[in-house]
Amino acid sequence: MKNILQFSISKGENNYIAQAVGFPIFTQAESLDKLIENIKEATGLHFKDEDLSEYGFTPKPSLLINFEVPQYV
């Protein structure tokens, strides 16, 4: 069973944007702290009333956050 749900974060013009890897979970916020809160809320809503084992996850998976840092030359 998997214990990690992965998110990719990028910086938009005014917001940070998060997208789950392999699931249609998206959210955004003005700060990284708020984005983490939104990711937890969006994940909870997406899997509400679902058996996570059907997706191959343990009952309380951790969140792995990858943050894209644009290349500046």
Q: What is the pLDDT of residue 66?
A: 93
73 occurs within a structural domain: no
pTM surpassing 0.75? yes
b/e 50-63 (16+ beta carbons within 10 angstroms → b): eeeeeeebeeebee
pLDDT in tens, the chain (73 residues): 999 999 999 998 899 999 999 999 999 999 999 999 999 999 999 999 999 999 999 988 999 999 887 776 6
- Full residue range of the structural domain in which residue 62 is found: 2-66
Give the type of residue at 70.
P
Number of domains in the chain: 1
Q: What is the pLDDT of residue 73?
A: 62
72 occurs within a structural domain: no
| CATH number (domain holding residue 17) | 3.30.160.620
